Amino acid sequence: MKENKNSEVIKYILENYNVQSTNDIADVLKDIFNNTIQTMMNVELGTAMGYSNCLN
């Protein structure tokens, strides 16, 4: 099942980003991780402040 998830991620990246080089791949990963980390920080801050639903 993990292999299937990896294939889905790779397919998404190839369909949504113009990957031509290893630098492009690095940029894609930065973009994905920046968004992930920002969301995690927002949820953590919202939880600390007592908001019940921080993902909206």
Look up the domain containing 44 and give its range: 2-48
| Between residues 52 and 33, the one the model is more confident about | 33
Q: Tell me how far apart the alpha carbons of residues 2 and 22 are, in angstroms, rounded to a whole number.
A: 24
Across the chain, what does the average pLDDT equal?
A: 85
Q: Tell me how far apart the alpha carbons of residues 41 and 30 are, in angstroms, rounded to a whole number.
A: 16
Written as six digits, the tokens of 21 are 């080089």
Residue 53 lies in a domain: no
pTM over 0.85: no
Residue 54 lies in a domain: no
Q: Tell me how far apart the alpha carbons of residues 41 and 21 are, in angstroms, rounded to a whole number.
A: 30
Residue 24 lies in a domain: yes
The predicted model gives 8-31 an average pLDDT of 91
Q: Tell me how far apart the alpha carbons of residues 12 and 49 are, in angstroms, rounded to a whole number.
A: 35
Written as six digits, the tokens of 44 are 């953590």
Domain count, the chain: 1
Q: Tell me how far apart the alpha carbons of residues 3 and 39 are, in angstroms, rounded to a whole number.
A: 25
Share of the chain above pLDDT 90, in %: 32
Residue 39 lies in a domain: yes
> Does position 24 have pLDDT exceeding 90, yes or no?
yes
